[in-house]
Amino acid sequence: MSNSLLIQKSAVSVLAVLVAPALLAAIVSTLFITPYPDDDASDASDVLERIRPVARVHVAGLEPATPQTAAVTAPATGQARPGEAVYQATCLPCHGTGVAEAPKFGDKAAWAPRAEKGMATLLNSAINGKELMPPRAGNPSLTDAELKSAIEYMLEKAGLNAS
């Protein structure tokens, strides 16, 4: 047998060994793997279970947040919640301790460079999120006015003012 014929037979054998399993896997997956069930068939509790967070942050000395206590309810009059109430309910876990590089409540040195950028920049960061802070500080029920009020409250307590 010549060398070229031996090389051809070896090449065909190698291809058969590589291609056959891939082809077999494609056929088996097409025949036996079922598509995802219709999303319309799932009820809301199934969806909530699939998207629930895998962890929560607990700050020592604070009550753990629950879905019922994490969101602050608006006053019955429809008015914006005061800055202190928004801070206590939403901002305190991070800004009270400085977790995730959040400027600590009352820390003038940490807040000063941010205050220099102005209220519009601070409010934009609070609305859209920035770095580790989620949009609307993780509380989608907060209005722009409430976020602004909370920022003003934190700046005031740090002895600063943003214009």
3-state SS of 81-142? CCHHHHHHHHHHHHHCCCHHHCCCCCCHHHHHHHHHCCHHHHHHHHHHCECCECHHHHCCCC
Task: Give the mean model confidence (pLDDT) for residues 57-62.
Answer: 66
Lookup: tokens for 69: 């206590």
Please give the pLDDT value at position 72. 46
Task: Give the mean model confidence (pLDDT) for residues 150-158.
Answer: 93
Task: Give the mean model confidence (pLDDT) for residues 123-139.
Answer: 91
Residue tagged 């020592």 (tokens) = 60
Number of helices (H), then strands (E), in the chain: 8, 0
User: Does 32 score more than 90 pLDDT?
Assistant: no
Give the chain's length: 163
Mean pLDDT estimate for the chain: 80
Task: Give the mean model confidence (pLDDT) for residues 145-157.
Answer: 93
Higher confidence at residue 92 or residue 35? 92
